[in-house]
Amino acid sequence: MVQGNWALFEEDFYMINQNLSKLLANSNARSVMLIDKTGQLITSAGEDPTFDTTSFASLSAADFAANSQIAALIGEKEFNTLVHQGANDSMYLNLIENRVILVVIFDKRTTLGLVRLRVKKAVEELSDIFSDVFKKLESGQQQSNPLNEAFASDAEDEIDSLFNDF
């Protein structure tokens, strides 16, 4: 079952974006994106796409779903990576923690081999991050931040004082 109702904590989101930026620089790719298996764009780095990212995310998730069925037909559990190679632009897609799809869009400034090598390292790091995120969400753990708690308390007090004047 694919679940799309989940959230990222701020520090996890920061680590994910750092990882994507590093992958982008090390692979010489044009753009990298993270998409959940329900077709929602999580985040991206690199050049702003010239296409509709909402449609792209949905189609990328559908691409993985279709290829999962093809994998089953030939006796494989799943294809964890997909490659679409074009005359000018290509895509390398990799499944992370069976819930997130990493998409790397690249052109002739780099090679599939370099992208594949750099993605391997990035996927290891992203898998660790997402594994922790999913564990936090499954346990219902909320990360506590004293500054945020103090701010929330002060904000509530301020709102109460505003309405007490009436």
**Position 155 confidence tier, pLDDT thresholds 50, 70, 90:** low
**CA nearest 123: which of 32, 31, 55, 11?**
32
Looking at residue 10, what is its pLDDT?
81
Question: How far is the C-alpha of 17 from the C-alpha of 10, rounded, in Å?
Answer: 11
Residue 139 included in any domain: yes
Residue 79 included in any domain: yes
**Position 2 confidence tier, pLDDT thresholds 50, 70, 90:** very low
The one-character DSSP state at 144 is -
Largest CA distance in the chain: 71
Residue 16 included in any domain: yes
Would you say residue 18 has pLDDT above 90? yes
Would you say residue 151 has pLDDT above 80? no
The predicted-structure confidence for 27-83, as pLDDT tens digits, reads as follows 999 999 999 989 999 999 999 888 999 999 999 999 989 998 999 999 998 899 999
Q: What is the number of structural domains in the chain?
A: 1
Provide the terminal-to-terminal Cα distance of the chain, rounded to the nearest Å: 51
- CATH for 64: 3.30.450.30
Residue 5 included in any domain: no
Residue 27 included in any domain: yes
Residue 99 included in any domain: yes
Is 99 in contact with 130 (CB distance < 8 Å)? yes
Residue 4 included in any domain: no
**Position 119 confidence tier, pLDDT thresholds 50, 70, 90:** very high
Is 139 in contact with 104 (CB distance < 8 Å)? no
Question: How far is the C-alpha of 32 from the C-alpha of 100, rounded, in Å?
Answer: 13
Residue 23 included in any domain: yes
Domain with 37 in it: 10-164
Question: How far is the C-alpha of 95 from the C-alpha of 68, rounded, in Å?
Answer: 11
